[in-house]
Structure 1
Amino acid sequence: MKSRYTWFLFLVFIFLLSGCAHVISKDLRIKSDPSLTLGQVRQNPDALKEKLVIWGGEIIETVNQRDGTTQIEVFQRPLGWRGEPKETSYSEGRFLVLADSYLDPYIFRRGKRITVGGEIIGEKTKPLGEMEYRYPVVSSKQIYLFFGLNTITNPIPIIMTHGGRIPIGEGDLDLEAITTAILTVNLSTSIYPFQLLKKFRKKRDPF
């Protein structure tokens, strides 16, 4: 019983720290180029291929493709210090995110805010109204989806990494997955550590 109480206090501590955590991993932030803007890439996308960037904004459209990948069209917004898209009218335009797995368009739907860390792989031209629009394309390594439409105050995220998905839902998950999920919960949510423990606990070890 004592060990469970100690573990619970540890999770509370992690939860409190989560309000200060960046939504993209430290490793990817170190490797990325924060000075590389969407506008710069639009001017010369081929010369900037393989560069790592962290961009974000609002989802315009999510399309599942025949090869099993998912394409997300994003309306760019500047990012805050935690990596969240800011509430501002300023934007440098649109870009495309290419995820190497299926993402449900109902979850990744229009108006939701998203932050992406990934590699520039070029550009794609497609119709936008009556014009042809050139979209820089980012191959995603990490995707952070904020729940709620047009709001950054209550993100209970779904995290996509290059290695797979950490889902918010029922099932057996290991300790690393539990800790990662708790690290990504913002203090402004109404979800607390003990609720997360109940959600992620192993069925063979009732809480």
Structure 2
Amino acid sequence: MLLMLFFLSGCTSSIPTAVRANNVSTTQIKQVQAAPRGYLNVMIRWGGEIITVQNKTHDTWLELLAYPLDSSGYPNNKSTSEGRFMAQITGFVDPAIYTPGRMVTILGLVESTITRQVGEFPYQYPLVAAKSHYLWPERSVISDPWYDPWYSPWQTPFYDPWNPYWDPYYPYTRHYPWL
């Protein structure tokens, strides 16, 4: 019984419940931009990096730089962007929390396309009426380099304690100002 529970736990989805749905299309942003009428009211799950937040009277519009989603629904910002899209969220979204650079995943229906300026270029944004969304927690960057507490640089075969020019960190040599 315990073994069966162990194997069945691997079948669960790691996508957050807020943006989990069964009938999600794999439509890409470029497809919607090319033929917007063919994709109206199609359920999509897109994600990306917040560029701007615009609060209006009854809703909030997020401008997002889209990235492909990984298996957990997280926008993979290490790959090439797929373009931009606008997400229309009902109600107020605090721009102090939804700051530019944060990652968000949107589940919603393609409503239309709108044209706005990006610099001086008119850009056609797919507009998604969000049914739900998930703001991903900020990922902390660990700046400490990896350190092995059991490694001693003096245990190398080339160690010579009487050589004044020997450097235990050979590939990353130090520059001696007196030489």
Q: TM-score, normalised by structure 2?
A: 0.68
Q: Hey, what's the Cα distance between the residues in 2 that align with 1:24 and 1:142?
A: 10
Residue of structure 2 in register with 1:30 after alignment: 22
Runs of 4+ with >4 A deviation: none
**5+ long unaligned stretches in structure 2:** 1-8, 142-179
Q: Look up the match of 1:116.
A: 106
Which position in structure 1 is the counterpart of 2:5? none
Q: Is the 8 A contact 2:46 2:106 kept in 1?
A: yes
Instruction: Report whether the alignment pairs 1:54 with 2:45.
Output: yes
2:15 is equivalent to residue 39 of structure 1: no
Unaligned runs of 5+ in 1: 1-15, 154-207
2:123 alignment counterpart: 133
Q: How many angstroms does 1:62 deviate by? A: 0.5
Q: How does 1:1-207 map to 2 (within 5 A)?
A: 21-25=14-18, 28-33=20-25, 35-65=26-56, 67-148=57-138, 151=139
2:133 and 2:37 map into 1 onto residues whose CA distance is 23
RMSD: 2.3
CA distance in 2, matches of 1:53, 1:64: 23
The alpha-carbon deviation at position 20 of structure 1 amounts to: 5.6
More helix by share: 1
Paired residues, what number?
132
Q: Is the 8 A contact 2:110 2:127 kept in 1?
A: yes
Gap change, CA 1:24 and 1:118, over 3 Å in 2: farther
Which has the larger Rg? 2
Percent identical: 29
2:176 corresponds to:
none
- Aligned counterparts of 2:39 and 2:140: Cα–Cα separation in 1: 30
- Secondary structure, in 3 states, of the residue corresponding to 2:33? helix
- Would the aligned equivalents of 1:74 and 1:96 in 2 still touch at CA under 8 Å? yes
Report the counterpart of residue 169 of structure 2 in structure 1: none
